[in-house]
Amino acid sequence: MGRNPVTWLGSPTFPRAARAALGDTQLRTNLRKATTTIRSKRARAVDELPDWERLRRAGEAVKDEVLANLDTYLVRVEEAVTARGGVVHWARDAEEANRIVLDLVRAKGADEVVKVKSMATAEIGLNEYLQAGGVRAVETDLAELIVQLGDDRPSHILVPAIHRNRAEIREIFARTMADAPATDDPKVLAEAARRHLRERFLSAKVAVSGANFAVADTGSIVVVESEGNGRMCLTLPETLITVMGIEKIVPTWRDLEVFLQLLPRSSTAERMNPYTSVWTGVTPGDGPGEFHLVLLDNGRTATLADEVGRQALRCIRCSACLNVCPVYERTGGQAYGSVYPGPIGAILAPQLAGDLRDKQAASLPYASSLCGACYEVCPVRIDIPEVLTHLRARAVKARPRNAEALAMASAAWVFRDPRRYEAAQRAGSLSRLLAGDDGMLTKLPWPGSKWTATRDVPSVPKESFRMWWRRNRG
The Cβ of residue 1 has, within 10 Å, a number of other Cβ atoms equal to: 8
How far is residue 165's CA from residue 29's CA, in Å, rounded to a whole number?
10
SS3 assignment, position 251:
coil
**Residue range of the domain that includes 446:** 417-473
Compute the C-alpha angle 452/412/415, nearest 5°.
Answer: 95
Question: Cβ distance 320 to 114 under 8 Å?
Answer: no
- One-letter identity of residue 24: D
pTM for the structure as a whole? 0.88
Shared domain for 54 and 191, answered yes or no, is yes
Per the DSSP assignment, residues forming a β-bridge with 470 are none
Which residue numbers in the chain have pLDDT < 50? 1-3
The Cβ of residue 134 has, within 10 Å, a number of other Cβ atoms equal to: 10
What total of structural domains would you count in the chain? 2
Identify the domain boundary among 253, 286, 302.
Answer: 302
How far is residue 183's CA from residue 295's CA, in Å, rounded to a whole number?
43
The Cβ of residue 196 has, within 10 Å, a number of other Cβ atoms equal to: 20
Within a domain: residue 386? no
Within a domain: residue 364? no
Predicted confidence at residue 392, as pLDDT, reads 96
Identify the domain boundary among 254, 279, 302.
Answer: 302
Which CATH number covers residue 58?
A: 3.40.50.10420
Compute the C-alpha angle 384/389/395, nearest 5°.
Answer: 120
Instruction: Report how far apart, in Å, the C-alpha atoms of 296 and of each of 4, 63, 68, 100 are.
Output: 12, 17, 18, 11
Residues 6+ apart with CB under 8 A from 362: 350, 356, 395, 398, 399
Within a domain: residue 123? yes
| DSSP of 146-182 | HHHHTT-----SS-TTTT--HHHHHHHHHHH-SS--S
The Cβ of residue 271 has, within 10 Å, a number of other Cβ atoms equal to: 11
Please state the three-class secondary structure of 365-409 as a single string. HHCCCCCCHHHHHCCCCCCHHHHHHHHHHHHHHHCCCCHHHHHHH
Q: Among residues 124, 174, 108, which one has the least CA distance to residue 146?
A: 174
SS3 assignment, position 50:
coil
Q: Among residues 274, 333, 263, 272, which one has the least CA distance to residue 24?
A: 333
Predicted confidence at residue 2, as pLDDT, reads 43
Shared domain for 91 and 235, answered yes or no, is yes
Question: Cβ distance 35 to 329 under 8 Å?
Answer: yes
CA 295 to mean position of chain CA atoms: 19
Shared domain for 446 and 297, answered yes or no, is no
Q: DSSP letter at 473?
A: H
> Which burial class, exposed, middle or buried, applies to 117 when counting CB atoms under 10 A from its CB (0-12, 13-18, 19+)?
buried
Within a domain: residue 341? no
What is the edge-to-edge ordering of all strands in the sheet holding 249-250? 249-250, 213-215, 220-225, 275-279
Pairing relation of β-strands 87-91 and 290-296?
A: parallel
Question: Cβ distance 115 to 121 under 8 Å?
Answer: yes
Within a domain: residue 230? yes
Within a domain: residue 397? no
- One-letter identity of residue 164: R
What is the edge-to-edge ordering of all strands in the sheet holding 239-245? 87-91, 290-296, 239-245, 206-209, 112-115, 136-139
Within a domain: residue 124? yes
Identify the domain boundary among 302, 324, 356.
Answer: 302
> Which burial class, exposed, middle or buried, applies to 319 when counting CB atoms under 10 A from its CB (0-12, 13-18, 19+)?
buried
- One-letter identity of residue 267: S
Q: What are φ and ψ of residue 15, in 5° steps? A: -60, -40
| DSSP of 304-359 | HTSTTGGGGGG-----HHHHH-HHHHHH-SGGG-BSS-HHHHHHHHHHHH--TTSH
- One-letter identity of residue 283: T
Residue 128's Cβ-side half-sphere holds a number of Cα atoms within 13 Å equal to 12
How far is residue 363's CA from residue 309's CA, in Å, rounded to a whole number?
16
Within a domain: residue 335? no
The answer to whether the peptide bond before residue 447 is cis (omega within 30 degrees of 0) is yes
- The length of the chain is 474
